[in-house]
A and B are shown apart, each in its own frame.
Chain A
Amino acid sequence: MQVPGGWFMTAHVLLIEDEPNIAEAIRFILMRDGLKVSTHAGGADAIEVVRTSQPDLLILDLMLPGMSGFDILSALRADPQTEDLPVLMLSAKGQVRDRAAAKKAGVDAFMSKPFSNAEMLASVRALVPR
């Protein structure tokens, strides 16, 4: 967010993705676009990480070790502190069924792998307050 006076309040994106190379690529793209990006690879402790880091946008992989993206999402939606947090969900089996289930679970955007970097940027820009 650009504040009068010229300094930037950088939006913070939390990326929960267990594939390190995908995480690294996404981090690079988003950082280049001027966002602050932190990454996390685990599923089981994901909710706690979201609560403490308080991101402006959560990018959440569907298949995570320990806990599925759906479980994490429903826990976040049930918590007043995170119920409005924008969530972009990633899935490596971007089938119609997953997309529908994700929508029902309350994601703001859904993207199936493999995505293009331009798609990723467009989705993130649409969800992050600037």
Chain B
Amino acid sequence: MPMTALTGSRVRERRLQLGLRQTDLARSAGISASYLNLIEHNRRRIGDEVLARLARALKVEAQTLSAGAEGVLVEDLRAAAASAGDEQPELDRVEDFVGRFPGWARMLAAQHRRMGLLERTVTALNDRLTHDTHLSQALHEVLSAVSAVRSTAAILAETEDIEPDWRARFHANIHADSERLAVGAEALVAYLDAASEDEEQGVVAPQEEVEGWLAARDWHLAELEEPGGRARLEAEIEGLASAAGRAMARDWVLRAEADARAMPLDPFRAALRAEGDPVLVARRFGVGVLAAFRRIATLPGAIAGLVICDGSGTLVFRKPPEGFLLPRFGAACPLWPLFEALAHPMRPVEAVVEPAARTRRRFRARAFCEPHHPQGFAGPELREAGMLIEPAVPDPALVPRAVGTSCRICPRAGCPARREPSILLEGS
């Protein structure tokens, strides 16, 4: 399966709209017709220079032709197709679809996202019913009391010749059970009242809520660069929908504040320029490598992406770098250097990686894992690994590591790390 790119398809689309022949367009863009043909069929990558010339000749903005917002849209539609079940759309024509019907495509992607949210809500509510020990205990208590009352009352009502001793005992039992029933019912009502107050929970995953907030702030919280600035963020944090989201945002802000204090902005920038290496920069400031990662990724205007995972490999923080799609939820690609680092704490792991995107961009990924022992010798070892993702300096001699986002939407055939079939390979 050749790597397809939206750009080539859009060049072709636009050329046909204008009624130009390949030879005409190639001549005005100053490239050979055969090269243009390869571009149009997405068999060649287009450099910025050639793209600019093609755009001029086609009388459009260069970015209209390149896979910018549409690239993300294509990924969203692929994800939508992944959950489509038996109704498999024409995946090989998804770019065609986005190019021709951008409005419908955006609507479909939006609906897919909305559906994901709703599904999570349903799961959360289901979980609440099946796994909520408080609810299940309260119900058990009420059902047990009702059960005892029902049987005992029936005995009293139906047994005409009941002995006085038994009758007295059953009366006492009913009395005790009715008290218990009242308490149980009250507990249940109180629980359901509280539950309806935080109903919004589970609509958006709390982590996504926090990441959305940070992304809207361009990942840099300038308030924290000044003493006492944390208090000024409180109003914004209060604005987050769920209690869990607010708690997670506060945790992040506490950490970011400590990072800002330990690594003041200007000296940190200078150190980063001088050293270039997060491990060495961290040493200068006497902080952990992950702290340096966080600081690098959240500097004003930082292009570096950052993912952080816990010992289970669950991504607990995601700042996506441009052109590197991170899984919205669910597990990530096991070939990420992040997970290599997770298995080897305190050892820097670096690799140039190429995500399975049409853009074929390469990234420099540097990962590091720090173990923590919050309860000392007596407690468990907790691990936290981070991976800094930055655009790689082009090096034709270097063979990048082929990685993906998540197996389900990864087109890489014959991947040794694949854990489930991809919708992009099925039937091909």
Binding site secondary structure of chain B: helix
Q: How large is the interface on A (under 10, 10 to 19, 20 to 34, 35 or more residues)?
A: 10 to 19
Determine the distance from Cα of A61 to Cα of B397 in the docked complex, in whole angstroms. Answer: 71
Within 8 A of B (CB), among A79-93: 92-93
Determine the distance from Cα of A29 to Cα of B155 in the docked complex, in whole angstroms. Answer: 7
B152: min CB distance to chain A, Å: 5
Determine the distance from Cα of A5 to Cα of B397 in the docked complex, in whole angstroms. Answer: 103
Chain B interfacial residues counted at CB < 8 A? 22
Closest chain A residue to B172, Cβ basis: A21
Asked if residues B148 and A22 are in contact (CB atoms below 8 Å), the reply is yes
Chain A residues near B136: list those with CB within 8 A.
93
Most buried by A among B143, B146, B147: B147
B373: min CB distance to chain A, Å: 34
Chain A residues near B166: list those with CB within 8 A.
28
Known: A21-B177, A24-B173, A32-B159. A120 touches B143 (CB 8 A): no
Chain A residues near B144: list those with CB within 8 A.
19, 22, 92, 113
Determine which of A19, A114, A115, A117 lies in contact with B155 in the assembled complex, contact meaning CB atoms within 8 Å. A117
A73: min CB distance to chain B, Å: 19
Asked if residues B159 and A22 are in contact (CB atoms below 8 Å), the reply is no
B154 at the interface (CB under 8 A from A): yes
A25 at the interface (CB under 8 A from B): yes
Asked if residues A114 and B146 are in contact (CB atoms below 8 Å), the reply is yes
A41: min CB distance to chain B, Å: 13
A2 at the interface (CB under 8 A from B): no
A122: min CB distance to chain B, Å: 14
Known: A28-B166, A93-B139, A93-B140. A21 touches B154 (CB 8 A): no
Determine the distance from Cα of A24 to Cα of B255 in the docked complex, in whole angstroms. Answer: 59
Asked if residues B148 and A19 are in contact (CB atoms below 8 Å), the reply is yes
B150 at the interface (CB under 8 A from A): yes
Asked if residues B148 and A25 are in contact (CB atoms below 8 Å), the reply is yes
Most buried by A among B143, B146, B159: B143
A52 at the interface (CB under 8 A from B): no
Asked if residues B150 and A116 are in contact (CB atoms below 8 Å), the reply is yes
A67 at the interface (CB under 8 A from B): no
Cβ contacts A59-88/B at 8 Å (1 or 0 each): 000010000000000000000000000000
**A interface list, Cβ under 8 A from B:** 19, 21-22, 24-26, 28-29, 32, 63, 92-93, 113-117, 120
Q: A21-B176, A24-B170, A115-B150 are in contact. List 12 more A-B contacts (CB 8 A).
A: A19-B148, A21-B152, A22-B147, A24-B173, A25-B152, A28-B170, A29-B155, A32-B159, A63-B140, A92-B140, A117-B154, A117-B158
**B interface list, Cβ under 8 A from A:** 136, 139-140, 143-144, 146-152, 154-155, 158-159, 166, 169-170, 173, 176-177
